[in-house]
Amino acid sequence: MHTAFDDLDRQISQSLDPRHIQALKSYRNSLTPVARLPHILLTDIFILVHHSESTNVKFSRHSPTCLQISHVCRAWRDSALQCPLLWTNILFCPPEWTAIMLERSRTAPLTVDIPVQHLNLAEDGFVFSVRLALSHMRHIRCLCITLFDRFRDLGDLLSPFLTGSPDILEELILSSFSVFPNYVYPSMENAPCLRSLELHSCHINWQRFSSVGKLTSLVLKDIPISSRPSVENILSLLQTMNKLEKLTLIHAISELPPSIRTLPPNDVAPIKLERLFDLSLTGFVLDCANVMRHFVMPRCRHVTVKAVTRWHIPEVALAVPPLTDIISSSFSQVERQELPYLASINRSRGNVIEDNVEISPGFENLLTKIPLGRVVHFSASLFCPEDNAEVVEWLEVLPRLSRVESVVLSGGYTYGFMNALHEAHALYVPSPRVADVIVLPNLTSLTIKHAHFSFPLGDAELFSTLKRSLSRRLELEWTVPDITLLNCHITPRQLAVLNTIALGPIDCTGEPQTWGVGESVLPPSDDDDD
């Protein structure tokens, strides 16, 4: 075989006739082992490559996989043209490829991503291509329409979508960088297969949602205030969704009146979301609590609540009871097997509450409802002015972190946590009777971010508490964790001391940034006391 290839290469290099050269190259390609693969095996490989690339690249202007494959050789092109599934991700740039791909895909389920922007509308044929693709609505499985600009009238462009028959539509995404017109979202009464629905910045007629009860995923994001569903709307909607596995409401919850001093009466029967696995809420803390208090989620394993507070309302005090109830209820219904958990407690500068609002007890109540004994990775971050930082009784938290392997501390929570860790080590007295109460016995990794190692002054100085904690662990022959410092204020001398105690080099990187922690105006001196 190598002799045949060498002979063909020699003929190609010696020939002067372009047609002869092309014929020789085609014949040479036909002799390669990959060209002799069975057609069905070759197309299976093409489809695997096509799916892996199409999931990672969206709205790409580079040549798609199907075009690259069809230009390799004649055998590959023949196989590609006979594989409809390879042409189902419809192209709109250049517009002329839309009709070609629709033809080659035949009746295979289509994926249609339409980026609508003035730049595209200015291109010849784009509008025609969009209308042509949407006219195949009964063959579209996944449809995504994204507005990158503000438009007054989309009716002509999207009319096939509004009037078509989405017989096999499973996933629908309508997204806008401004606000979607209120007439764009169609009734899904004729979409029996719809399972995933995402609406971003859309005006919505909630009466049309009566036909989406079979969803497994619902995402509502940045809904205009005038179109946000009331709590009654949400609960009525969720009552019909007995298959829902993921629910995301990001700036999509109707807001309670600013003057409110208590939650409305709970006159609605609990909504039992039997299959819900993932819940994400973003909005004012009281609005999130007002919605969550109606949920029963026996299988939920991922709860994310990113809530902010109004400056003039003690919302946290009102929100804590329903939040603790839902957390306690969710964990009480978890199967008894010992599942590991990730715990993250974060508070940013933007969530600062007035000094007269007492939130520490509420925060403690939330912590008590979390099964800290199952946590294997724990992180806590606090970025706000020092005077507004709530106090956490870390000495009560540490003994419950019995399985934690890695700890990540950022900003203000670093100092209280490390001071409590030092105190817990100092209080420990080795004894056979208390061998099972080692402080953080499985700790192997400690990461500290945005902290000042010369703050605060006195015995609670971060450098001093960390140094004494590490020394105590060595004395007790406990595991000393690997330490990473990111964007921290630390002197070379302090770092050298910690390197010695840690029995290995500490990874210290990044420009010092403490983000609101009360450091002195002048940078610390290298001669700071150990």
d(CA 485, CA 417): 16
Q: Tell me, what DSSP letter sits at residue 483?
A: E
Contact 389, 412 (CB under 8 A): yes
Summarize pLDDT for 108-142 with one digit per residue, the tens: 999 999 988 877 776 778 888 988 999 999 999 99
Q: What is the dihedral of CA 14, 15, 20, 25, to 10 degrees?
A: 30
Calpha distance 211→209 (Å, rounded): 5
> What per-residue confidence (pLDDT) applies to 149?
76
Task: Give all strands (DSSP E) within 295-340, no chain letters.
Answer: 295-296, 302-308
Residues 6 or more apart whose Cβ sits within 8 Å of residue 474: 480, 501, 503
Q: What is the pLDDT of residue 21?
A: 74
For the chain, the distance separating the N- and C-terminal CA atoms, rounded to the nearest angstrom, is 75
Q: Is 523 helix (H, G, I), strand (E, B) or coil?
A: coil
Domain boundaries, the chain: 341-530
* pLDDT at residue number 151: 67
Peptide bond into 95 cis (omega under 30): no
Antiparallel, parallel or unpaired: β 295-296 and 341-347 = unpaired
Residue 414 CA to residue 408 CA, distance in Å, equals: 9
Which residue type does 510 have?
G
Q: What is the pLDDT of residue 363?
A: 59
- 507-509 β-sheet, strand order: 341-347, 375-382, 406-411, 445-449, 482-486, 507-509
- pLDDT tens-place string over residues 256-308: 887 777 788 877 788 999 999 999 999 888 888 889 889 988 888 788 888 87
How many angstroms separate the CA atoms of 278 and 244, rounded? 9
Q: For residues 97 and 78, give the distance between their C-alpha atoms in angstroms, rounded to a whole number.
A: 18
The residue type of 428 is Y
- Using left for φ > 0, alpha for ψ between -120 and 50, and beta otherwise, residue 343 falls in beta
Q: Residue 7's beta-bridge partner residues?
A: none
Enumerate residues 6+ apart whose C-beta is below 8 A from 367.
345, 392, 397
Tokens of residue 89, six digits: 């991700």
pLDDT score for 454: 93
pLDDT given for residue 110 in this prediction:
93
Of the candidates 316, 324, 391, the one whose C-alpha atom is nearest the C-alpha of residue 354 is 316
Cα–Cα dist 65/87, whole Å = 9
Q: Cite the beta strand spans of 60-150 per DSSP E.
A: 89-90, 110-116, 140-147
Low-confidence ranges of the chain (pLDDT < 50): 1, 56-61, 336-337, 349-361, 386-388, 434-435, 519-530
CA distance 373 to 367: 12
d(CA 469, CA 464): 8
For residue 373, what is the DSSP state? G
The tokens describing 260, both together, are 């409110």
Q: Which residues neighbour 11 within 8 Å (Cβ) at sequence distance 6 or greater?
A: 24
Distance (Å, whole) CA 194 – CA 209 = 12
